[in-house]
């Protein structure tokens, strides 16, 4: 039964409602070949629950300070303020 839920195909609206990912982001992600994996059925795009969950997991950043996420040579974050 659990596998049936993970294999269920969701519309963009359902992904937005269940995971909080905007429909516009999903549209752009398809065009840019980023974002969660998707299934194309004719002109429609659908998302497997498991693929969305995997994508979220792969893009989860570990907790910590803002400093830990900054790449060497990058600009100071707006949240850190100007120096």
CATH number for the domain spanning 24: value is 3.90.105
CA dist 39 and 47 (Å) reads: 6
pTM of the model: 0.69
Q: How many CA atoms lie within 13 A of 61 on its CB side?
A: 8
Which residue range(s) make up the domain with 34? 2-59
d(CA 78, CA 53): 30
CB 39 within 8 A of CB 45: yes
Asked if the structure places residue 76 within a domain, the reply is: no
Mean pLDDT by 10 residues, the chain (83 residues): 80 97 96 95 96 95 66 49 45
Task: Determine, yes or no, domain membership for 72.
Answer: no
């Amino acid at each position: 039964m659990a596998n049936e839920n993970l294999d269920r195909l969701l519309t963009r609206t359902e992904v937005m409602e269940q995971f909080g990912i905007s429909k516009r982001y999903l549209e752009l992600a398809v065009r840019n070949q980023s974002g969660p994996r998707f299934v194309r059925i004719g002109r429609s795009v659908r998302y497997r629950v498991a693929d969305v969950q995997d994508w979220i997991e792969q893009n989860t950043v570990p907790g910590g300070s803002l400093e830990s996420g900054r790449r060497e040579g990058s600009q100071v974050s707006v949240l850190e303020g100007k120096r």
